[in-house]
Amino acid sequence: MPPIFATPINQSSSGMKSYNKKFVYSICLVSAMGGLLFGYDWVVIGGAKPFYELYFDIADSPTMQGLAMSVALLGCLIGAMVAGMMADCYGRKPLLLISAFIFLSSAYATGAFSVFSWFLVARFLGGIGIGIASGLSPMYIAEVAPTSIRGKLVSLNQLTIVLGILGAQIANWLIAEPIPADFTPADICASWNGQMGWRWMFWGAAFPAAVFLLLACFIPESPRWLAMKGKRERAWNVLSKIGGNHYAEQELQMVEQTGSSKSEGGLKLLFSRPFRKVLVLGIIVAVFQQWCGTNVIFNYAQEIFQSAGYSLGDVLFNIVVTGVANVIFTFVAIYTVERLGRRVLMLLGAGGLAGIYLVLGTCYFFQVSGFFMVVLVVLAIACYAMSLGPITWVLLAEIFPNRVRGVAMATCTFALWVGSFTLTYTFPLLNSALGSYGTFWIYSAICLVGFVFFCRSLPETKGKSLETL
């Protein structure tokens, strides 16, 4: 391991197991950079959309507009499913390197192409990168993190996602030059924004992608994957760097005692009776993170704030405010996940959002507008950011046994992206048929159902070894 990650093991004064904090945090942060690029890529297209649609002459073609926005989702679905199977065969590290290379290639290509079909190819490629990183980064972190701080470290993945989202929101805000109110679509298309500005929005991801690719070369392979492949010496070396010789031996014995050294199971094993119940739980947790409705606020923030009475300039500022709130309260989750536990935070998120959406829908019903609506939206973002956003990834990375973790994470991530697509696709339809108030009341009901389900079926995974879950 290069010197940048090699530091002495820190001894806890409380007598708890010692571990090399700098080493653990370094490799986890590198892995979590996939989340940063995931968040940036997912949101940046919203700011570029008004300009590339005019550039490619698709502003009057809803079909082409929808294709440009959704083709990345198709890539996500493919990337998520393929990643889990390939990660079980070839290891976690090679897939992280592949995702970093894909992000770098996609960031450059999306901004470089001047032909719409090639633009779509680049967006599809970026979606594959998102699909790989979204499941692989939290899984890798969970497999290298000591049990006592695993929840905190896996939450870093969500923190980097929201930092990426905020980065994209700020980049869109800063890169786009002011557009005079009397500009026609032709004027906008001929402006710097219409010709180059939207390209720089996508190119903004190239630098962090290059850093991710470089640093990912220096992180170790997952010790649990190495153990499952019978590479005990290499697994022991990584684990000893994390927590010393005693920690390494203890962890390896737990892996071997649970039969994880056997060949991993594929989809057939995952869907077998012993794993079926936990798989259903994982899929419900993953889909609920999307169906709770919070991502609608990010995807359709412009429409939501404008319907609340704000001008376009105010809308852009309010969107940045939601991004800042997202980051701040993700830090709250990192601080509380090991104190309050996963179950408490999931219940808090589901119950809190149910109440906020009920009030938000009622405000739309009575045509309330202005600052109070922004407060409600920020509260919803805050509630999500300190609970469902990060804790979902923690739970998915923890609840599955070693033998099926790779393919299970892939399956749940696939379900998550299906949930994301259905949420994004159905919001305009629900909003048109039921109005904003009816739509948010439906999301409130979904969150209430989720709260009841988690009360009955969600276990607490805090403080438990991955081998004992």
In words, the CATH class of domain 20-219 is mainly alpha
Listed range (251-260, 271-280, 305-314) with the worst mean pLDDT:
305-314
The tens digit of pLDDT for each residue in 367-411 reads 887 778 778 888 999 999 999 988 998 888 888 877 777 788 888
Q: What is the pLDDT of residue 15?
A: 36
Establish whether domains 20-219 and 264-469 are of one fold: yes
The tens digit of pLDDT for each residue in 274-307 reads 778 888 999 999 999 989 988 777 666 666 666 6
Q: What is the pLDDT of residue 109?
A: 95
* Residue % of the chain over a pLDDT of 90: 31
The overall average pLDDT reported for the chain is 83
Q: What is the pLDDT of residue 254?
A: 80
What confidence category does residue 8 fall into, taking pLDDT thresholds of 50, 70 and 90?
very low
What confidence category does residue 217 fall into, taking pLDDT thresholds of 50, 70 and 90?
very high
pLDDT at 465 over 80: no
Q: What is the pLDDT of residue 41?
A: 85
pLDDT at 174 over 80: yes
Q: What is the pLDDT of residue 464?
A: 65
Stronger pLDDT, 227 or 402, i.e. the higher one: 227
Q: What is the pLDDT of residue 262?
A: 47
What confidence category does residue 154 fall into, taking pLDDT thresholds of 50, 70 and 90?
confident
The tens digit of pLDDT for each residue in 325-360 reads 888 988 888 888 888 888 999 999 999 999 999 998
Q: What is the pLDDT of residue 188?
A: 84
Q: What is the pLDDT of residue 270?
A: 72
Mean pLDDT score, 26-38? 90
Domain-wise residue ranges, the chain = 20-219, 264-469
What confidence category does residue 468 fall into, taking pLDDT thresholds of 50, 70 and 90?
low
Q: What is the pLDDT of residue 313?
A: 56
Mean pLDDT score, 164-170? 86
The tens digit of pLDDT for each residue in 363-376 reads 889 888 777 877 88
What confidence category does residue 320 fall into, taking pLDDT thresholds of 50, 70 and 90?
confident
Stronger pLDDT, 23 or 68, i.e. the higher one: 23
Mean pLDDT score, 170-184? 80
What confidence category does residue 267 fall into, taking pLDDT thresholds of 50, 70 and 90?
low
Mean pLDDT score, 130-134? 87
Q: What is the pLDDT of residue 3?
A: 39
Backbone angles phi, psi at 460, to 5 degrees: -90, 125
* Contacting residues for 392 by C-beta, under 8 A, at least 6 apart: 285, 286, 288, 289, 346
Yes or no: domain 264-469 corresponds to CATH 1.20.200.10 = no
Q: What is the pLDDT of residue 16?
A: 39
Mean pLDDT score, 24-42? 89
* Residue % of the chain over a pLDDT of 70: 88
Q: What is the pLDDT of residue 301?
A: 65
